[in-house]
A and B are shown apart, each in its own frame.
Chain A
């Protein structure tokens, strides 16, 4: 499903180079649930960004569903992301000027009509995350947990084959954390490939596979 081959990434700022990811190869199989842990600065977010085509590797290739992401143009890669990859981030990622429903429907607006999720799909997802009553509310009218659930629902709108989540449960209370993770598990059971970065070691047993990153390298894999 996701194939990394000799992928590396170094950030350069003000003459300084920081190796975020040393050359790394690996695969995530279709339908797998992979958890990635590691200390801050270990390269977890960079790994996820590389898998989603959000940043270009310095070297190596990244393929998702057999498609080399960096052989595509910006527009093609954007379309590919809209169609096949859903993202959930740690921070509040809802657009503050859009209502819950409008936020949810955003990913569909980047695809031709009929290709992305529609209002009915959005309502189904909101039912699943228990927020169907809140469709006309703005993000600031929701709690942090509710916002995160909307963000998860939005990532699933276009029925992506791959779900990439960057510390989606950080800052959440235990109950909301459980709700979010069980959503991921449900999606995974339905066939979606999930890669999730987390600091929470208690969640690790829920995944099929666990990668530990340290200094831009995989230090441990289960």
Chain B
């Protein structure tokens, strides 16, 4: 055991770090930036994956049928919750889709983009009118969590919509009550208000009397048809068949959404990864230069320790521990700082890259943070091991008299 009976190896390493606080701080900041960027990058990757998995699971649809040309808008609405509205003929399309082999269920949805004007609406939001008799997106959740369906004047809100149960929400002059709140998904659903499609029709009808600007929803039209497939059904084949039988539509698979998100994520990462690698390289060089300089500075001390009875390994252990501490502390600061900075700019980053995001479970975040800290500490130890190894090759006499 190396260690001063009073101080201990850890205490010695910590004191050594304080020998030159400016230098220690500079390296600490370097490691912190690398660790912070790596942690934020990992968090984004895992958070996006988590959001896509959670969002698509909640949506419950394998395919989404929308008017041709509206696929892009649907993607933005699904991922970011940006209000949008488009319509297509619904009855015939629904009947055709339900008759296709492999289709288990099909349910229409009507999209309404509310207005930002306070005279009209609570806010600029996306309303989704669903058909309670066929819906498989929110109805099962309502039955499970609320034990009932929504009353005619109630709405179900996404997790990010402000308000508590019972609060009034006004859209196009009609006031609804907040009936329940969905769990967070990190996708556009968090910004969406769900209500039965009958309520949408009534709201549109009454808007002519109550709203400054009436809501026009073409009769018999829908915005999207959500399709659930039989187990084992080929999504691509069913999508192609829908496209063939129902003209003027675009069919989006859940896989398309995930793929599109992955592409957006890759775009973000293509900017982040080179930055991280460059900073890593600089920090690594800084670390190498620093520990070679420290090793040079301490040659005499190392020689003295060996003269006093330390083995070659024991004499450099404090140096390696010092680097490990510096890496670990920098990693810890990076994880904290990176997490905080990311938290502050999350919205801006996600909107710029149209990415969904849901913080991964706490355990996963802790694991990611621990991995970054451990890697930073191990990196420090590895870098310092190099000059330390060179020092151990010096004879004590040579180390003591080195200039």
Chain A contacts to B: CB under 8 angstroms: 45-46, 49, 52, 54-56, 74-75, 78-79, 81-83, 87, 89, 91, 93, 95-99, 101-102, 105-111, 118-119, 154, 158
* Minimum distance in angstroms from A213 CB to a CB of chain B: 16
- Indicate which residue in A56, A96, A108 contacts B19 across the interface (CB closer than 8 Å): A96
Is there an interface contact between B309 and A93, defined as CB atoms closer than 8 Å?
no
Chain B contacts to A: CB under 8 angstroms: 1-7, 12, 15-16, 18-19, 300-301, 303-312, 314, 395-398, 400-401
Residues from chain A with Cβ under 8 Å of B301 in the complex: 95
Q: Assuming A81-B309, A83-B309, is B5 touching A55 (CB within 8 A)?
A: no
- How many A-B pairs have beta carbons closer than 8 Å: the answer is 86
Is there an interface contact between A98 and B4, defined as CB atoms closer than 8 Å?
yes
4 new A-B contacts, CB < 8 A, other than A74-B312, A89-B304, A110-B308, are: A98-B7, A105-B5, A106-B305, A110-B314
The residue in A52, A99, A109 that gathers the most chain B C-beta atoms within 10 A of its C-beta is A109
Is there an interface contact between B2 and A109, defined as CB atoms closer than 8 Å?
yes
Is there an interface contact between B300 and A102, defined as CB atoms closer than 8 Å?
no
Is there an interface contact between A79 and B307, defined as CB atoms closer than 8 Å?
no
Residues from chain A with Cβ under 8 Å of B396 in the complex: 49, 54-55
Is there an interface contact between B397 and A49, defined as CB atoms closer than 8 Å?
yes
- Indicate which residue in B4, B300, B314, B397 contacts A54 across the interface (CB closer than 8 Å): B397
Is there an interface contact between B397 and A55, defined as CB atoms closer than 8 Å?
yes
Is there an interface contact between A97 and B309, defined as CB atoms closer than 8 Å?
no
- Minimum CB distance partner of A87 in chain B: B307
Residues from chain A with Cβ under 8 Å of B6 in the complex: 99, 101-102, 105, 119
- Indicate which residue in B7, B19, B305 contacts A102 across the interface (CB closer than 8 Å): B7
Residues from chain A with Cβ under 8 Å of B304 in the complex: 89, 93, 95
A102–B104 Cα distance when bound, in Å, is: 78
The residue in B305, B309, B311, B395 that gathers the most chain A C-beta atoms within 10 A of its C-beta is B309
* Minimum distance in angstroms from A57 CB to a CB of chain B: 11
* Minimum distance in angstroms from A184 CB to a CB of chain B: 17
Is there an interface contact between B314 and A78, defined as CB atoms closer than 8 Å?
yes
Q: Assuming A55-B398, A89-B400, A95-B301, is B309 touching A79 (CB within 8 A)?
A: yes
* Minimum distance in angstroms from B118 CB to a CB of chain A: 65
* Minimum distance in angstroms from B341 CB to a CB of chain A: 34
- Minimum CB distance partner of A45 in chain B: B401
